[in-house]
Amino acid sequence: MIRRESAIVTDPVTLSEPQPTRLVRIEAFALDPAFAEAFEGAVGAPLPAVGRVTDAPAGPVIWAEPRAVLASGDAAALSAALSGVAAVSDVSGAWRRIDLTGPGWRERLMIDGLFDAESPGFAPGCVAATLLRHAPVMLCPTGRDGVLICVAPSFAADLRAALAR
Amino acid sequence: MKYSALSLLRAGLGGHKDWPRAWRDPEPKSHYDVILIGGGGHGLTTAFYLAAAHGVKNVAVLERSWIGGGNTGRNTTIVRSNYRLPQLHALMELSLKRWEGMSDEINYNVMFSQRGALFLGHSDSDMLQLAQKGDAMRADGIDAELMTRDQVARLIPLLDVSAGARYPVQGGLIQRRGGTARHDAVAWGYARAADRLGVDIIQNCEVTGMDITSGRITGVQTTRGAIGADRVGIAVAGNSGRVAAMADLKLPIESHLLQAFVSEPVKPMIDTVIMTQSLHCYISQSDKGEIVLGGDPDAYPTYSQRGAPHIIEKAAAEALALVPALSRLRMLRSWAGTTDMSFDGSPFIDATPVEGLYFNGGWCYGGFKATPGSGWLFAHLLARGESHPVAAPFRLDRFETGHTMDEPGVGPMPQNR
Amino acid sequence: MMLIPCPHCGPRAHAEFTFDRPVEAITRPDDTADALVRNLFSRDNPRGHSRELWRHTYGCRAWIALTRDTATHAITDVQAWGAKA
Amino acid sequence: MSGGSRLPAGGLIDRSRTLRFGFDGRDFTGHPGDTLASALLASGVRVFGRSFKYHRTRGLLAAGVEEPSALVGAGEGGRFEPNTRATDLHLYDGLVAESQNRWPSLALDVGAVNQLIAPFIPAGFYYKTFLGPPALWKLYEHVIRAAAGLGRPPHLPDPDRYERRAAFCDVLVVGAGPAGLSAALAAARSGARVALAEMDSRLGGSLLGDPAQIDGQPARDWIAASETELRTLGVRVLTRTTAIGYYDHDMVYLAERVVEPGAATGDDGIAQRMWRMRAGRVILAQGAIERPLPFEDNDRPGVMLSGAVRTYLDRFGVAAGQRIVLATSSDDAYRTAIRLCDAGVRVEALLDARSGDAIDADLLRRTRDRCPVETGVRPVRALGGAKGVTGLAAAAAGGAASFIADVIAVSGGLTPSVHLHMQAGGGLDWDEGRGIFTPTAPRQGQVSIGACAGRFGLADALSDAWRAGLDAAAATGGRPVADTPPRFEGRAFADQISAFVPAPGVNPKKVFVDPQNDVTLGDLDLAWREGYRSVEHQKRYTTLGMATDQGKTSNLIGLARLAQNEGRPAPQVGLTTFRPPFIPTTLGLWAGEDAGFHVTPLRRTPLHDQHAAFDPPWQAVGYWRRPRAYLRAGETLATAALREARMVRTTVGITDVSTLGKFEVSGPDAAQLLERVCATSVSKLAVGRGRYTFMLREDGLVNDDGTVWRLAEDRFLLTSSTGGADRMAGLISYVRNVLYPDLRVGAANVQEHHAAIAVAGPRARAVIAAVVEGMAPPRHMSLGRGVVAGVPVLVIAASYSGERAFEVYAPSHQAVAVWTALAEAAQAQDGGLYGLEALEILRVEKGHVETGGEIDGRTSAHDLRLEKMLNPRGGYVGQLAQQRPAFADPDRLQFVGVESLGGPIAEGSMLVERPGFAVQGHVTAAGLRVLEEGFVGLALLKGGRARPGDELLAWSPTRTASARVRVCEPVFHDPAGERYRD
């Protein structure tokens, strides 16, 4: 039989799952200067802009919702530091991290995805929350050759298998 | 000319020159006893039963475009009465009984095919729900049989009944009197039958306003002039809100959209109407051989009759999960209909606050099966000014009183239905 | 599939969003029972421009108010909920 | 000798290689670059199949996707695809194809008897006969169904995969003919992100094999150079990819055939790929479809479109016949005639319906140099029979003439392909002279160019396309280049007139409009006479345009006939809707990645692998899977469940309840938010304590239930049911963000953060004491914090089973160690694991309501005996709606217990006085006493709360089971709650 030359050239990717870190969700009571100031004091980095990731001493700070971010750190300590301006919850178990690396990562995210991961503007420092193969995910490019995929643990096994297919 | 094998034979010898028009194309009269707005199945059956059962023959059906062009011609043609709630049993079974005599009653073959309507169960809780539904049906005098997995597998050999399936089949509930019908034929057949009793079916006549004096309707304004009427019935699925607004009425209805699609025709492969308790697709095969499929509604307000493709992707995937051999059949055509979503999933057949103005609508995506019953009950209401006992619960004010009839129990948001 | 301009995430596929209700149908527990029935259980249901509450459920989870044409699906305005409409 | 043959040279096929294939059991050969149609035509095959209704023989009409007649079954086993267009099936080695709708064989077909009774089965005949009761119709229908349908149905699972892929571009160009290539070049050079989709396997469209010169070079070279440049500029060039649907906001679905129908897939197993292409602008360059001419027996094998005859010649090196006569109302047939003559194929005559002075003199002269041309002549009847045409009878003003021919090449003019333009919501203009609709009033980002815009001339198409490409690039942020468009300096030769009306004397009943569904002009006339006068009525009554080609060659002819019957111009009689997909596409492709097991995601709890090790029967709960029981050797599900339930009642059991909804609500206004969401009081809860709670919907009916725990003064944990988790997440977010955005509170969904393990039974306390360090087991409805196996845990004391019970919450990624420690400790106490079935038995005996059971979306707080818990201060969602009169109706279905006076109670049974009497309620759940004799159930009963002691029949007609039951309080185990109180 003849197989037509496909328009698709799938570059290789590799998958790995880093160890879970201590992750907290910080939800501002109101997006006001008091919160921004307290946040920067507590986390050691400015509040990320919409759709952005910033680096803090403890790890990346990911914009998640209009008034919520994900950050690394100890929930109790951050909660105390942000008392009165934000709610802090430990969500360490709520996200699995999948590192997808290799030149084909962008293309791999287009398979049964909805988000334009092939856009050149989607680069390190960005975060996009979307659906990938029906699983709610957050996508954070980590460099030219990789992306961090945060996914709820219940969807992780299916997603990992699908990404590896 | 009465339709029969003999008349067809006779006409064939004469080159089919003499078939009369199925329905006339009359000019609107200045006044009717009853005007029905909407020439879909529900309006046409209502007109027929007004004339046939109540002797009210000075009736007009006003259709904005062509008869049967709304949801009557856009559904998946499934007919069944396998509901859970007693009020819906009464309504849908009254309708199903009329389906069973329909072709003879209107002398038009609507191809009502009682090939069985099967709900599949995929878990214990599914089977409990199905048993409960089946018992409720039987207790209300409606046929229903629980089936084991093996019985289901014998009925539909192409079904995936393997234990390793994502939604393994545990059994089913079949209503053998359920089935499918030729949807267009229902509109045409009732139009012809009503016309023969003197009803005026007026196409390309859009109602643009209502004449209401002192809280009483006296007629309607149309693109073909003003037409007077003693009573006016609204049966315009998909446009109920817009028409009711002409009488300053706000309805408990949101217009959404439901898509369906058919495959290319093939020789017989699925004999039964398949529905499922855990998934949302439904599958049947038409007489022409097309596999007819539907799935979830689009779940947002729209009048566009243009659906979103990810909805039909999901329906296709669900169909394949049940019947894997459908994979290489091709989708030939997809379409969408505007559905009048009520806030409890049940319809309305009721008088409005405007004297002489009556309303029939809110059938969500289940109106086709109810067509003859709906017409029967609406005709009763229009002829007598009071509700038939079966129609009595389907009041417009039931959200004010709380007497809702929510079959799946999903609450007042139409997009969850 | 519509492309809905999330005020936070930019234009995103309809499949990431869920429709909630027309803005007119938002009622609060501290309204009156009459207002509840009037707003929750009846609709203008316009063919044309409609002001609607949607949620970017599978994205940033924000609630947004869209002005959308129910006949053409054209979206002419979008606001983050609470940003004064 | 008649039929097609391969010419010694020419065509874009690779003659150096031979492909072998089978058709109806006969072996054939072809070459790479052939379609099945061209290879069979080259081998002299004329009859490809039979039509739907009359089983008339059918040959090739077209050479592309518009083909209505030449349908085959392709492939074998799970790859068998019925109804495949031979013209759109690119040949591969080993292809196995079969003709359709014939029995026992293509040549000898029993169904052909329908042709004899054709006078009695015109359009819609079935509406007029087979009347009678449904049982009788079922008999007729059985026969009709077997006769209907086309191909064989597949019956095996599909071995291949279908990929679904998102893609984005600034400019999508649909169609890579001259216009599409020109537009793509302009847009790409202007810096736009461009995608080009071409349904053929190579670019070029109508230029393929054409001798035209573009930019001073042969078309072939121009195409190759263009393709190279596009690829260099980074354009996504997708071949064998058809735009099938134009959806909202410029989302175009592109169906890519990775392998041909029936062919084996490569290593990736992918047969086709669906591109969800979101474009900034869409340039439609889909070309046009030629339409046939109306004359008698125009459905016979050998009647072909003029453009198709030329395509077979130029593209495939095949002469469609030995002696060809052309009939036309357009210039297209002249191009065909010239090409045929130049290739040495015998052209008997070219018959043009137009008068000589309406035809370009140069074209006429050039053609007459090569073959006879008669003007003002119209075809009347195809001569010949089932095996194919033998000639054509024609009529001219001066009289009749007939021509010997084995192919009648016809051109009724071109019809622009406006399908996608219309799917996108565009409008149309009617061009009476040419008999075409042209696109206008685009509603989305679409623009039509070239033939699909009615610009049939090549020079026009190229320059229009260039401009469209620049405009689209500019509109999406590109910088239009100043280059000049590709040039074609020949003449257009693209005139046509409408030719919908047959020659005088032609019998309309013999003129086929839709050759697949066997719809004739006579059928259309009959429908009109009977009053089916809307274009949709005509279509639906006669089935015109409803065949697998969706009327691509026939709809306009049908419309014209209706207009003629109505005496109105075509645009006034309307147009049927153009619905996706443009060409039929497999359901497998639509299902894409979601086929089979992947139909929905499978959500796994953090302890999934621990359960899976037991290979338990699973229960689907939404997307989740939960183990129903952990069966031991020799056990059934029922006996295992009972053993597990007894274990919980006597020692201790542990079970995974991680799927429960969980929300952490914190901040100064946390209690205030919860008292909006929950119908119970929350603010008075002491720190470290918890209580049962439930939520209402806005309509006042019970939504879900759970527990609420005060972790700290300003911090709460709220749980909800598995099935209600997503609903609650939405409700909490709505209340917090939409209704009360100013509350100083945060609400985190921690469903997946915490794994949750229930420990229940008289020895539960001992297990907790043994395993949890740093904490004494908390009292009932209290909480504590400790450490298990090094993992920090939250322990709450709440009972669902009716025994002393705890739920241990651990971060999900550390849950396995906790589970293992608890399981070992439970075993040490003679306990073990229990699943959903035991959980259900226990909760029924204890009389807890359950979402999906008694909380069925129709029950109120009062119905469920929960009204005393309603927050008297109000202010919660659903409060007001409860004031409606129906909520006080004494006849509501209310929550009760039922005790069997005999045997088991069937779940779901109706509650009646006796069979045949009115239904008073139903059994929502049933089970047995775990440690004692007897069968019990929970039920919803009319006015049930006032009816303890009533005796009823729990009746299940579907299972022929019944049990006398006595109504009682819905609690059968430890009514005072002594077993779990401290």
Q: Do C1 and D249 touch (CB under 8 A)?
A: yes
Facing B5 at nearest CB: one of D129, D145, D584? D129
Question: B250: which chain C residues are within 8 Å (Cβ-Cβ)?
Answer: 42-44
Residues ≥6 apart with Cβ < 8 Å to D358 = D495, D497
| Nearest C-alpha in D relative to C73 | D248
Q: Look at the block and give the residue holding tokens 């051989």.
A: B289
Mean pLDDT for the stretch of residues D677-702:
97
Homologous superfamily of B30-81+84-107+183-252+344-416: FAD/NAD(P)-binding domain (3.50.50.60)
Cite the residue boundaries of each domain of chain D with CATH code 3.30.1360.120: 608-658+753-842
How crowded is residue D221: how many other Cβ atoms within 10 Å of its Cβ?
A: 13
Facing C29 at nearest CB: one of D276, D737, D879? D879
Q: Which amino acid is at D516?
A: Q
Question: D922: which chain B residues are within 8 Å (Cβ-Cβ)?
Answer: 132, 135-136
Q: Does D738 touch chain C (CB under 8 A)?
A: yes
Mean pLDDT for the stretch of residues A110-131:
97
**In this predicted model, what pLDDT tens digit does every residue of D91-124 receive, in sequence order?**
999 999 999 998 888 888 888 888 989 999 999 9
Class of domain A14-18+95-164: alpha beta
Q: Do A65 and C62 touch (CB under 8 A)?
A: yes
Class of domain D608-658+753-842: alpha beta
Q: Does B403 touch chain C (CB under 8 A)?
A: no
Facing C73 at nearest CB: one of B304, B343, B412? B304
Q: Do C20 and B413 touch (CB under 8 A)?
A: yes
**How far apart, in whole angstroms, are the C-alpha atoms of residue D253 and residue B318?**
20
Q: Do D753 and A112 touch (CB under 8 A)?
A: no
Report yes or no: D799 and D780 within 8 Å, Cβ to Cβ. yes
Mean pLDDT for the stretch of residues D77-97:
98
Q: Do B304 and C37 touch (CB under 8 A)?
A: no
**How far apart, in whole angstroms, are the C-alpha atoms of residue D935 and residue D846?**
13
HEC-encoded secondary structure of B171-215: EEEEECCCEECCHHHHHHHHHHHHHHCCCEEECCCCEEEEEEECC
Q: Look at the block and give the residue holding tokens 């280059």.
A: D483
Q: For residue B17, what are its two tokens? A: 């020159």
**In this predicted model, what pLDDT tens digit does every residue of D850-893 receive, in sequence order?**
999 999 999 999 999 999 999 999 999 999 999 999 999 999 99
Mean pLDDT for the stretch of residues D142-162:
94
- The fold for domain D5-119 equals Ubiquitin-like (UB roll) (3.10.20)
Give the pLDDT band (50/70/90) at residue A101.
Answer: very high
Q: Do C26 and D698 touch (CB under 8 A)?
A: no
Facing C72 at nearest CB: one of B250, B304, B399? B304
Q: For chain C, list the contacting chains (3+ Cβ pairs, <8 Å).
A: A, B, D
Q: Does D734 touch chain C (CB under 8 A)?
A: yes
Q: Look at the block and give the residue holding tokens 């109000």.
A: D874
Facing B145 at nearest CB: one of D78, D587, D958? D958
**In this predicted model, what pLDDT tens digit does every residue of B103-124 receive, in sequence order?**
999 999 999 999 999 999 999 8
**In this predicted model, what pLDDT tens digit does every residue of D259-294 receive, in sequence order?**
999 999 999 999 999 999 999 999 999 999 999 999
Residues ≥6 apart with Cβ < 8 Å to B370 = B42, B91, B92, B95, B347, B363
**How far apart, in whole angstroms, are the C-alpha atoms of residue B300 and residue B416?**
10
Facing D587 at nearest CB: one of B112, B278, B329? B329
pLDDT of residue B359: 98
Question: Within a 13 Å sphere around the CA of D265, how many CA atoms are in the beta-carbon half?
Answer: 17
DSSP alpha helices (H): ranges in D567-603?
587-591
Give the pLDDT band (50/70/90) at residue A10.
Answer: low
Mean pLDDT for the stretch of residues D471-488:
95
**How far apart, in whole angstroms, are the C-alpha atoms of residue D573 and residue D525?**
15
**How far apart, in whole angstroms, are the C-alpha atoms of residue D5 and residue D318?**
6
**Shortest Cα distance, chain A CAs vs residue C32, angstroms:** 28
**How far apart, in whole angstroms, are the C-alpha atoms of residue D545 and residue D562?**
14
Q: With b meaning 16 or more CB within 10 Å and e meaning fewer, what string describes C24-59?
A: bbbbbbeeeeeebbbbbbbbebbbeebbbbbbbbbb
Domain ranges of chain C: 3-80
Q: Do B132 and D253 touch (CB under 8 A)?
A: no
Question: Residue D291: which of D106, D474, D493, D551 has the closest Cα?
Answer: D551
**How far apart, in whole angstroms, are the C-alpha atoms of residue B184 and residue B77?**
9
Q: Do A66 and C9 touch (CB under 8 A)?
A: no
Question: C60: which chain A residues are within 8 Å (Cβ-Cβ)?
Answer: 64-66, 129
Is the CA virtual torsion A38, A39, A42, A45 positive or negative?
A: negative
Q: For residue D220, what are its two tokens? A: 């072939």
Q: Which residue has the higher pLDDT, B225 or D493?
A: B225
Mean pLDDT for the stretch of residues A42-58:
96
pLDDT of residue A21: 81
**How far apart, in whole angstroms, are the C-alpha atoms of residue D211 and residue D315?**
11
Q: Cis peptide leading into D581, omega within 30 of 0?
A: yes
| Nearest C-alpha in C relative to D676 | C29
Q: For chain A, how many residues are written?
A: 165
Question: Residue B74: which of B207, B260, B238 has the closest Cα?
Answer: B260
**Shortest Cα distance, chain B CAs vs residue D9, angstroms:** 37
**Shortest Cα distance, chain B CAs vs residue D210, angstroms:** 32
First CA to last CA distance, chain C: 25
Q: Look at the block and give the residue holding tokens 């194919």.
A: D388
Residues ≥6 apart with Cβ < 8 Å to A78 = A24, A26, A42, A43, A71, A88
Q: Do C70 and B302 touch (CB under 8 A)?
A: yes
Q: Where are the beta strands (DSSP E) in C1-85?
A: 3-6, 10-13, 18-22, 49-55, 63-69, 75-80
How crowded is residue A20: how many other Cβ atoms within 10 Å of its Cβ?
A: 17
Homologous superfamily of D663-749: Aminomethyltransferase beta-barrel domains (3.30.70.1400)
pLDDT of residue C84: 47
Q: Is the model's pLDDT at A6 over the cut of 60?
A: no
Share of chain A above pLDDT 90, in %: 86
Q: For chain D, list the contacting chains (3+ Cβ pairs, <8 Å).
A: A, B, C
Give the pLDDT band (50/70/90) at residue B278.
Answer: very high
Question: Residue D547: which of D555, D535, D556, D557 has the closest Cα?
Answer: D555
Question: Which phi and psi (to 5°) does residue B117 adopt?
Answer: -115, 115
Mean pLDDT for the stretch of residues A152-157:
96
Question: A50: which chain C residues are within 8 Å (Cβ-Cβ)?
Answer: 8-9
State the Rg of chain C over Cα: 13
**How far apart, in whole angstroms, are the C-alpha atoms of residue D942 and residue D496?**
76
Q: Do A128 and C9 touch (CB under 8 A)?
A: yes
How crowded is residue D968: how many other Cβ atoms within 10 Å of its Cβ?
A: 18
Domain ranges of chain A: 14-18+95-164, 23-92
Mean pLDDT for the stretch of residues B185-191:
98
If one looks up domain B117-179+255-342 in CATH, what number appears? 3.30.9.10
Question: Residue D947: which of D910, D905, D900, D897 has the closest Cα?
Answer: D897
Give the pLDDT band (50/70/90) at residue A9.
Answer: low
pLDDT of residue D491: 85
Cite the residue boundaries of each domain of chain D with CATH code 3.50.50.60: 161-288+416-475
Q: Do B328 and D919 touch (CB under 8 A)?
A: no
Report yes or no: D282 and D265 within 8 Å, Cβ to Cβ. no
Best of D128, D566, D624 to disrupt the B interface by mutation (most B CBs within 10 Å)?
A: D128
**How far apart, in whole angstroms, are the C-alpha atoms of residue D185 and residue D472?**
12
Domain ranges of chain B: 30-81+84-107+183-252+344-416, 117-179+255-342
Q: For chain D, how many residues are written?
A: 982
Question: Residue A150: which of D353, D964, D305, D753 has the closest Cα?
Answer: D753
Helix/strand number for chain D, H first, E second: 20, 52
**In this predicted model, what pLDDT tens digit does every residue of D748-761 receive, in sequence order?**
999 999 999 999 99
Q: Is the model's pLDDT at B227 over the cut of 80?
A: yes
Q: Is the model's pLDDT at D342 over the cut of 50?
A: yes
Question: Which phi and psi (to 5°) does residue D556 adopt?
Answer: -70, -35
Q: Do C42 and B250 touch (CB under 8 A)?
A: yes
Whole-number average pLDDT of chain D: 96
Q: For residue D461, what are its two tokens? A: 């198409």
Q: If you count residue pairs, one on C and one on D, with CB atoms under 8 Å apart, how many are there?
A: 64
Q: For residue D373, what are its two tokens? A: 């041309």
Question: Within a 13 Å sphere around the CA of B360, how many CA atoms are in the beta-carbon half?
Answer: 33
**Shortest Cα distance, chain B CAs vs residue D747, angstroms:** 23
pLDDT of residue D1: 56
- The fold for domain D161-288+416-475 equals FAD/NAD(P)-binding domain (3.50.50)
**In this predicted model, what pLDDT tens digit does every residue of D347-398 receive, in sequence order?**
999 999 999 999 999 999 999 999 999 999 999 999 999 999 999 999 988 8
Facing C40 at nearest CB: one of D250, D698, D739? D698
Q: Cis peptide leading into D104, omega within 30 of 0?
A: yes
Q: Is the model's pLDDT at D832 over the cut of 60?
A: yes
State the Rg of chain D over Cα: 37
pLDDT of residue D840: 96
User: Which strands make up the sheet holding B171-175, listed edge to edge?
Assistant: B145-148, B171-175, B117-121, B273-276, B282-285, B291-297, B253-263, B330-342, D585-586
Q: Look at the block and give the residue holding tokens 């089913």.
A: B172
DSSP H or E stretch at residue D436: strand D436-440
**How far apart, in whole angstroms, are the C-alpha atoms of residue D733 and residue C58?**
13
Q: For residue D75, what are its two tokens? A: 């492939």
First CA to last CA distance, chain B: 45
**Shortest Cα distance, chain C CAs vs residue B100, angstroms:** 36
Residues ≥6 apart with Cβ < 8 Å to B167 = B122, B276, B278, B279, B321, B322, D599, D620
Q: Look at the block and give the residue holding tokens 């040949």.
A: D91
The Cα angle at residue B72 between residues B69 and B75, in degrees rounded to 5? 115
pTM for this predicted structure: 0.97
Mean pLDDT for the stretch of residues B167-186:
97
| Nearest C-alpha in C relative to D673 | C29
First CA to last CA distance, chain D: 102
DSSP alpha helices (H): ranges in D344-444?
361-368, 419-423
The B residues from 343 to 362 touching C (CB cutoff 8 Å) are 343
**Shortest Cα distance, chain C CAs vs residue D466, angstroms:** 28
**How far apart, in whole angstroms, are the C-alpha atoms of residue D563 and residue B202?**
20
pLDDT of residue A7: 45
pLDDT of residue A1: 34
Q: Does B306 touch chain C (CB under 8 A)?
A: yes
Q: Do D698 and C82 touch (CB under 8 A)?
A: no
Facing D738 at nearest CB: one of C26, C61, C72? C26
Best of D738, D877, D887 to disrupt the C interface by mutation (most C CBs within 10 Å)?
A: D738
Q: Look at the block and give the residue holding tokens 């079970």.
A: D655
Mean pLDDT for the stretch of residues D292-300:
97
If one looks up domain C3-80 in CATH, what number appears? 3.30.2270.10
If one looks up domain D884-968 in CATH, what number appears? 2.40.30.110
pLDDT of residue A5: 41
**Shortest Cα distance, chain B CAs vs residue D344, angstroms:** 40
Facing D733 at nearest CB: one of C28, C31, C61? C61
pLDDT of residue D568: 93
